[in-house]
Structure 1
Amino acid sequence: MKLLARYLLKELLVPLVVWVAFLFLLLFVMQFLRGTDVLLGSAVTLVDVGRLILYLAPHFLVMALPIAFLLAILLGLGRLSEDRELTALQALGISPTQLLAGPAVIGVLLGGLMLLLSFTGEPWGLTGVKELVSEVIKKNVAGDVKSGVFYEDLSDLTLYAERVSREGGQWTHVLLHDDREPSSPLLVLAQTGRVNTSVGDEAALRLVLDVGEVHRANRSTTDYSLLRFEQGEISVGLGTSLTRKNRFRSPKEEMTPGELLMAAEEAEKSGGDSRPFLMALHSRLGNAVAPLSFALLGTPLAIGRRQSGRAWGYLLTLSGYVLFYLLSRAFEHMGNQGKLPVVLAGQLTNLIFIALGIFAMWRVSRSGTVR
């Protein structure tokens, strides 16, 4: 039995690792393409990309592990069925139920890993991604200012620098026209300037200007003001056109379980709806049980299917995962609306797949491992 267990683990773990790596790369490329306007900016470095991969790793692993595990089961055990190895095992008295032990153990271990990642690593990573992308957006704004060119991507502001140094992004002979208050626009002239990206909130950057003057005119009257300064800072909101570039946002996934429970409690106290926060928590629990559900359903499907090649395995995996995803989202929506208890909504898809798996295993055990 130990030899059989090691053999089955090899048949499952090798494709599992390969598929996790492939899906991780696929997910990163898809997310990278969604944010090319930010991640291919003038100020992005390899260090920024490396930090992005590190921050996104927990989130992508949580997404990739269940489908990679289902693929490993259907293709790994399916190969044993196609090569008639399961027939030989059946002749030796190995029942289909005994073959379920290995995938079930791996499913439990993967579920524990996903639970750990979704409760700790994923909130940390997604929070870091949001901060990193906001930082990169600000650096890109600084890097996109060119010598002798009017920069107008900032909402209601026009920025001009006669000369921009390549090393530190220092501006010389700066002109800034601020039209955020149309009735009294500002014209700022400064000897030097730069962008300070190390301070401020994520939705704003600070322009530091040295030795200059501020001109303010009131369009409704003849009032005109002039102010000279040695050094000043102007806080500039990035505006909708730039903040919407940060596509790495998902507030509830950035929250830890404690923060979700606290938010739910505060929502109840203020007369709001606490279900979305509780549903987000129980959805994570449901996702952590998914590998076990896939083990219980995927094993009988893999060992009981006919000689139909790998194409059937890919199709079955894709169909099963799409069905799982659609049911999970449907039940989550019903939980948010109060049509289902949030605890049941979070686990109902797993219960359906487990019930189908038990039925499929009963059919396979009654009719034999292969047909």
Structure 2
Amino acid sequence: MKLLARYLLKELIVPLVVWVAFLFLLLFVMQFLRGTEVLLGSAVTLGDIGQLILYLAPHFLVMALPIAFLLAILLGLGRLSEDRELVALQALGISPTQLLAGPLAIGALLAGLMLLLTFTGEPWGMSAVRDLVADVIKKNVAGDVKSGVFYEDLSDLTLYAERVEGKGERWTHVLLHDDREPSSPLLVLAQTGRLTTGGGEEGLRLSLKEGEVHRANRSTSDYSLLRFEQGEISVGLGGSVNRKNRFRSPKEEMTPGELLLAAEEAEKSGGDPRPFLMSLHNRLGNALAPLAFALLATPLAIGRRQAGRAWGYLLTLSGYVLFYLLSRAFEQMGQQGKLPVVVAGQLTNVIFVVIGVFAMWRVSRSGTVR
């Protein structure tokens, strides 16, 4: 039995690792294409890309592990069925239910790993991604200001520098038009200046020297002029950062404790706590999905009577799409109060387990591939 267990683990682990790597790369490419406006900016470095991959790794693994595990079972055990190895094992007295032990053991390990990732690694990574991308956006703004070119990519702000030296470290003959208060726009002229970045989404400031501030009131004829030796203006990138940051996912940035606290605060203030509780139970349901997939995919793989990898790919895609659609449907019902959030978070797994148990019973009753 130990030899059989090692053989089955090899048939499952190798394709599992390969598919996790492939899906991880695919997810990163898809996310990268969504954020090209930021990630292809003038100030982005290889270090920034490396940090982004590190921070997104828990999120991508949570997404990739279930479907990769489903593929590994259907293709790994399916190959044994195609080559009639399962028939030989059955002739030696090994029942289909004995073959379930390996997938269940791997599924339990993956479920434990996903619980750890979804409740600790993923919130940490998504929060770090939010801050990293916000800093990259600010650095891009500083690097995108070119000599003699008006920069108008900020909400209600226009920047101009006659000469930009270094990597935006020193500007000469600076103009800033601030229309954030439409009733009294602001025009700032300065001999020199530079943008400085700091933490948070509002940490971009323009430091100016030897200049003057012109302010006009459009509702009256008032006009103000102020000269200064040195000053700072907050550029205020909050709106631009939120608009450009396509990597944000507020609920996934929250830990389980923060979700429970947010639900409690929403309930105290008369709001709806269900979206926060549903997010928490959805994470738990997704983390336990490998166990449901092991129970469902094993009888489907060993009991199929048609050969061909295309069958395995099609069944995997269909199974995961069905899992996703059911999860989203039950999530909506949980948020609307039609189902308890605990039930809504686990109902898809329960359905897959019931179908898997029934399929295993049929396979055990009829035997493996004939």
Category of TM-score, reference length = shorter chain? over 0.9
| Partner residue, 2:291 | 292
Q: Which amino acid aligns with 2:120?
A: T
**Counterpart for residue 225 of structure 2:** 226
My pick for the range that moved more, 221-230 or 360-369, is: 221-230
In 1, Cα distance between equivalents of 2:9 and 2:218: 77
CA 1:114–1:45 in structure 2 vs 1: closer, same or farther (change >3 Å)? same
CA contact (8 A) 1:264 1:278 kept: yes
Q: What is the CA–CA distance in structure 2 between the aligned matches of 1:327 and 1:284, rounded to whole Å?
A: 15
Contact 1:152 1:158 in 2 (8 A): yes
* Residue deviations 1:73-103 (CA, integer Å, cap 9, x gap): 0000000000010010000000000000000
Q: Does the 8 Å CA contact 1:87/1:369 hold for their aligned counterparts?
A: yes
SS in 2 for 1:313: helix
Name whichever of 5-14 and 178-187 sits farther off.
178-187
In the alignment, residue 63 of structure 2 is paired with which amino acid?
M
Amino acid at match of 2:150: F
Which consecutive aligned stretches of 4+ in structure 1 deviate over 4 angstroms post-superposition? 239-242
Cα distance in 2 for partners of 1:273, 1:219 equals 43
Amino acid at match of 2:337: G
Alignment size in residue pairs: 370
Secondary structure, counterpart of 2:288 in structure 1? helix
Q: Which amino acid aligns with 2:219?
A: S
Residue 72 of structure 1: CA displacement? Answer: 0.2
Q: Deviations over 1:240-263 (max 9, x none)?
A: 555311111111111101111111
Give the CA deviation at 1:165: 1.0
- Give the corresponding residue for 1:103: 103
Give how far 1:233 is off. 1.6
Q: How far apart are 1:326 and its partner, in Å?
A: 0.3
Would the aligned equivalents of 1:154 and 1:239 in 2 still touch at CA under 8 Å?
no
Instruction: Provide the rounded CA distance (Å) in 2 between the counterparts of 1:240 and 1:267.
Output: 25
- Give the equivalent residue in structure 1 for 2:192: 192
1:1-371 to structure 2, matched below 5 A, reads 1-199=1-199, 201-203=200-202, 205-238=204-237, 240=239, 243-371=242-370
Long gaps (5+) in structure 1: none
CA distance in 1, matches of 2:308, 2:129: 41
Find the aligned partners of 2:109 and 2:139 in 1 and give their Cα distance: 42
Q: CA RMSD in A?
A: 1.3
Structure 2 counterpart of 1:303, one-letter code: I
Specify the SS of the correspondent of 1:366.
helix
Q: 1:297 and 1:131 mapped to 2: Cα distance?
A: 40
Contact 1:203–1:243 (CA under 8 A) maintained in structure 2: no
Alignment partners' CA distance in 1, 2:266 and 2:360: 44
Q: Deviations over 1:46-71 (max 9, x none)?
A: 01100100010000000000000000
Q: Give the CA deviation at 1:150.
A: 1.0
**Offset of 1:355 from its aligned partner?**
0.3
After TM superposition, give the deviation of residue 204 of structure 1 in Å: 5.7
Quick one: structure 1 residues 289 and 83, their matched pair in 2 at CA, closer, same or farther if it must change by over 3 Å? same
> Please, what TM-score do these two structures have when normalized by structure 1?
0.97
Q: Which amino acid aligns with 1:290?
A: A
CA contact (8 A) 2:43 2:139 kept: yes
Instruction: Give a deviation string over 1:115-150, Cα, whole Å, max 9, x none.
Output: 000000000000011111111111111111000111
The one-letter code matched in structure 2 to 1:78 is G
Distance 1:268 1:292, change over 3 A: same
Unpaired stretches in structure 2, ≥5 consecutive residues: none
**Which residue type is aligned with residue 332 of structure 1?**
E
SS in structure 2 of the partner of residue 248 of structure 1: coil
- What is the CA-CA distance between 1:184 and the residue it aligns to? 2.0
* 1:199-236 per-position Cα deviation (integer Å, ceiling 9, x unaligned): 4x315622121221111122333322221222222112
Distance (whole Å) between structure 1 residues aligned to residue 34 and residue 366 of structure 2: 49
Q: Please tell me the residue identity of whatever aligns with 1:244.
A: R
Contact 1:134 1:203 in 2 (8 A): no
Amino acid at match of 1:329: R
Which whole-Å CA distance do the structure 2 matches of 1:125 and 1:155 have between them?
29
**For residues 220 and 307 of structure 1, do their structure 2 counterparts lie closer, same or farther at Cα, with a shift above 3 Å needed?**
closer
The CA deviation string for residues 264-315 of structure 1, in whole angstroms up to 9 with x for no partner, is: 1111111111111111111111011100000000000000001321000000
Instruction: Name the CA distance, whole Å, in 1 between partners of 2:202 and 2:298.
Output: 49
| Cα deviation, residue 37, structure 1 | 0.7
Structure 1 residue identity aligned to 2:146? K
Which stretch shifts more, 115-124 or 242-251? Answer: 242-251
CA distance in 1, matches of 2:104, 2:335: 31
Separation in 2, partners of 1:186, 1:14: 63
What is the CA–CA distance in structure 2 between the aligned matches of 1:71 and 1:167, rounded to whole Å? 48
